[in-house]
Structure 1
Amino acid sequence: TLEYSEVILGKYGKEADKMVYSFKDKGGRNLSLRYDQTVPTARVLAQYQNSLPKCFRRYQIQNVFRADKPQKGRYREFTQCDIDIFGSTSPIADAEIIACTYFAFKNIGYPKIILRINDRQTLFSSLKSFSTKTADVLSIIQTIDKLDKKDKLSVLQELIKKGLSSKNANAALAAVAGAALTPNLKQIIEQSKLLGVPNQAIEFTPNLARGLDYYTGMIFEVILPEYPLGSFGGGGRYDNLINKLSGYNIPAVGIAFGFDRMVEAADELNLIPKENTGAKVLVTIFEDPQPALAAAAVLRQKNINAEVFPAQDKIDKQLKYANRKGVNFVLMIGPDEAAKNMVTLKNMQTGKQKTITLDQATDVLAR
């Protein structure tokens, strides 16, 4: 969870560094909460490189922290899932990460998956000539990375504010938009397809920048068109990060998914199976709970797994509760049913309901 601030800060860029939680501990040491898992893992690789195989694959699932403004799909603490390959500069390693990412999302069941892909080297070569004393090429890239979140005018204004002339700001955007696939990126895409990633899932996006400074080559991110809440994961090649920490050259490529955002999307797209609690019927509670409690006792005596809603509440809330928990039937005994010594049994799968005696309901539930 904690790293020395000198390990964390300065690796992501000025924009990302602002979202790192940093503080002094009781011993006066500068510490930071883990912003991502890439930099801490690079530190571990640098520390234990002689004990690890030359080509090392790893996955990690852990919480990370961002000093961000909480909103839908954005959290100050969330679970991040990482996969990385260390020790290989081959485009096959890049393709492996891309394919693993695609199939991880596909196997969850998302209806459409788009992998936006670009090459950081293309961005550097396209934008290097526009750097100024107040805006180096990394700063320009960080601003251009906002094109998918802000309109073009806002991005232009930010570039001008950083010191670019209006002419050069427009020229910088035009240079990025006109970029073509590099031979390296073409090879990565072709090998990704050979690994099973469909052609329609890969989208060359020349303005994609990935705001973190440590990327050096291929970069990509995951988009779910049916749930337009931004990127669900992002990554790429970061060949120089371990060198910055240790002086040793260990190339690396990887991806990080935001697990909480993935779950949120899967839930709203109805991809998560309803929880099976074991209860076959939910007995609802009205203002007078006595008929419901007595009915629950009868059902349990007949070995029918019955759950009683814990308090009187609106009937629609009780029905939603049953639906969320995957309970197949709901038994209702409101004032009208109680007056007639009857119950209403609702089948949550079909939506049909009928008013019958408790004995008849017991027979249905016992089947």
Structure 2
Amino acid sequence: MTSTMQKQNLQTLKGFRDFLPPEKRARDLVMAKIKTTFERFGFEPLETPTLEYAELLLGKYGAEADKLVYSFEDRGGRQVALRYDQTVPTARVLSQYQNELGKGFRRYQIQPVFRAEKPQKGRYRELIQCDADIFGSTASIADAEILAVYYFIYRDLGLTDLVIEFNDREILISNLMPYATQDLTVFSIIQSIDKLDKQTVEEVATELVAKGLSAINANKALTSIQQVNPSPNLVNILNVAQELGIPQENLKFNPTLARGLDYYTGMIFEGKIPGESGSVGGGGRYDKLIESLGGPNIPAVGFGLGFDRTVEVLESRNLISVITLTQVLVTIFSPDLQGESLKVAQSLRSAGINTELYPDPSDKLDKQFKYADKKSIPYAIVIGQDEVDKNVVTLKNLVTHEQTTLLISEAISNLKI
């Protein structure tokens, strides 16, 4: 280490994180399970660049969100920006490759996004976004498929008590439009209604009055929206979703669910875990968004999954069982016998066994065993002079402390069980 590095205050930037091996393995395990579920439903992986032209991103999220986009001039004089979300880049992909992708394209995308917002608990400047969408279909089966893959992701992760709260954007618009005025749009009313899961009815009514509604109309609007029933469109989607395997008890109609963003045009939903605060993602139908972002006129339905929040819930419920990927440590009995250990390590790796070779031939065996134990490596192989003379190895179980002397081929067979 240089003296310059020693003098530096070595730490991550605010809002950015390191993931050491145990935490990274846990996150990789969750991500692998999510990918498996996506692909079981026929979703295909998509990846877009970390950098895009700034003009592609800026102006798409609103003035306030534009302030959170990391944009700069690169060394070639180009105005570029870090990926803020995955929807706008996907709109570009749909426009650029529409002939190759065809109708009914369904994609999943799991990549980091970057936002220059104030870091706080659970909010970072670099985070993993996990999206899935079906493009080109307005049929209810597409909406139901999105609900189904979302549910089965959490079921496969062990969170079987996930509740999907759903609503229809058209229900909100048709029931709240009578209370809109020239100075207060229906979307502004919806944004206030969306706070009912965090605020009381009285608090939301007060906000609506502050926006310009009379107290009478504010209370009428709140009463009206809370008394509506699912639309025929929702009933149809939910029937298909149940046929696809979502239990009825995991679905809950919530007429005040609004999903604050104005671009939703139909079914909307959020996933919630009982006993946990907030949601673990959500989504809905957005038939006009891709075109408004500069892409083709393609209807779409999809969701964004809260990856970090999901990992936190899984960890709090001890549902992530992470084991070391290394199956065996090949020890080095002495510097003179280092070559024998190298041969054994190569034989094990050629047989498909995850093998670590101890890096320092001068350390005693006891230290090597402690090293393996600290890393939770379950087995160690010892090749001393006796083993070399007999053309065998000693396989030691570091959990039970039992050890067996056997041929390398037999050791390979035992480790593959």
TM bucket normalised to smaller: 0.7 to 0.9
1:185 corresponds to 2:252: no
- Aligned residue in 1 for 2:217: 168
Q: 1:56 aligns with which of 95, 100, 105?
A: 105
1:275 corresponds to 2:315: no
Amino acid at match of 1:305: F
- 8 Å contact kept, 2:70–2:115: no
Q: Identify if the C-alpha distance between structure 1 residues 193 and 133 changes in structure 2 by more than 3 Å, giving closer, same or farther.
A: same
- Aligned residue in 1 for 2:369: 305
Q: Identify if the C-alpha distance between structure 1 residues 44 and 208 changes in structure 2 by more than 3 Å, giving closer, same or farther.
A: same
Amino acid at match of 1:241: L
Residue 72 of structure 1: how far off its partner (Å):
3.6
1:366 corresponds to 2:414: no
Q: Residue 35 of structure 1: SS of its match in structure 2? A: coil
Residue 34 of structure 1: how far off its partner (Å):
3.2
Q: Residue 80 of structure 1: SS of its match in structure 2? A: strand
**Inter-partner Cα distance in structure 2 for 1:145 and 1:18:** 23
Residue 188 of structure 1: how far off its partner (Å):
0.4
Residue 4 of structure 1: how far off its partner (Å):
5.2
- Aligned residue in 2 for 1:135: 184
**Inter-partner Cα distance in structure 2 for 1:264 and 1:363:** 29
- 8 Å contact kept, 1:11–1:213: no
Residue 42 of structure 1: how far off its partner (Å):
1.9
- Aligned residue in 2 for 1:84: 133
**Inter-partner Cα distance in structure 1 for 2:67 and 2:154:** 27
Question: 1:252-282 CA deviation, whole Å, 9 max, x = no partner?
Answer: 00111121111111111101113336599xx
**Inter-partner Cα distance in structure 2 for 1:261 and 1:247:** 31
Residue 307 of structure 1: how far off its partner (Å):
2.2
Q: Residue 371 of structure 2: SS of its match in structure 1? A: strand
How many residues get paired?
A: 303
Q: 1:258 aligns with which of 282, 306, 321?
A: 306
**Inter-partner Cα distance in structure 2 for 1:175 and 1:5:** 43
Q: Identify if the C-alpha distance between structure 1 residues 35 and 147 changes in structure 2 by more than 3 Å, giving closer, same or farther.
A: farther
Q: Residue 124 of structure 2: SS of its match in structure 1? A: coil
Is there any run of 5+ residues in structure 2 with no aligned partner, and where? 1-49, 329-362, 379-397, 404-417
The 5 Å alignment of 1:21-32 reads 21=69, 23=71, 25=73
- Aligned residue in 2 for 1:318: none
- Which one is further off, 98-107 or 268-277? 268-277
Q: Identify if the C-alpha distance between structure 1 residues 49 and 308 changes in structure 2 by more than 3 Å, giving closer, same or farther.
A: closer
**Inter-partner Cα distance in structure 2 for 1:231 and 1:4:** 32
**Inter-partner Cα distance in structure 2 for 1:230 and 1:66:** 20
Q: Identify if the C-alpha distance between structure 1 residues 217 and 74 changes in structure 2 by more than 3 Å, giving closer, same or farther.
A: same
**Inter-partner Cα distance in structure 2 for 1:246 and 1:126:** 31
Task: Say which structure, 1 or 2, has more relative contact order (CA 8 Å, 6+ apart).
Answer: 1
Give TM-score, length-normalised by structure 2.
Answer: 0.64
State the identity %: 52
Is there any run of 5+ residues in structure 1 with no aligned partner, and where? 281-295, 310-321, 329-361
Residue 92 of structure 1: how far off its partner (Å):
0.2
Residue 160 of structure 1: how far off its partner (Å):
2.2
Q: Identify if the C-alpha distance between structure 1 residues 210 and 108 changes in structure 2 by more than 3 Å, giving closer, same or farther.
A: same
Question: 1:171-229 CA deviation, whole Å, 9 max, x = no partner?
Answer: 22112211210011001000000000000000101111111121110011111114x13
- 8 Å contact kept, 1:13–1:213: no
Question: 1:337-363 CA deviation, whole Å, 9 max, x = no partner?
Answer: xxxxxxxxxxxxxxxxxxxxxxxxx99
Q: Residue 273 of structure 1: SS of its match in structure 2? A: coil
- 8 Å contact kept, 1:20–1:32: no
**Inter-partner Cα distance in structure 2 for 1:162 and 1:265:** 37
Residue 66 of structure 1: how far off its partner (Å):
3.6
Q: Identify if the C-alpha distance between structure 1 residues 363 and 138 changes in structure 2 by more than 3 Å, giving closer, same or farther.
A: closer
**Inter-partner Cα distance in structure 2 for 1:66 and 1:205:** 30
The 5 Å alignment of 1:79-228 reads 79-226=128-275, 228=276
Q: Identify if the C-alpha distance between structure 1 residues 108 and 130 changes in structure 2 by more than 3 Å, giving closer, same or farther.
A: same
Residue 119 of structure 1: how far off its partner (Å):
0.4
Q: Identify if the C-alpha distance between structure 1 residues 235 and 9 changes in structure 2 by more than 3 Å, giving closer, same or farther.
A: farther
Q: Residue 401 of structure 2: SS of its match in structure 1? A: helix
**Inter-partner Cα distance in structure 1 for 2:56 and 2:249:** 39
Residue 157 of structure 1: how far off its partner (Å):
2.6
Question: 1:116-162 CA deviation, whole Å, 9 max, x = no partner?
Answer: 10000111111112223332112221222122123333322322222
Q: Residue 44 of structure 1: SS of its match in structure 2? A: helix
Question: 1:52-104 CA deviation, whole Å, 9 max, x = no partner?
Answer: 21111111111123444434433232101111110000000000010001001
- Which one is further off, 266-275 or 142-151? 142-151
- 8 Å contact kept, 2:140–2:237: yes
Amino acid at match of 1:212: L
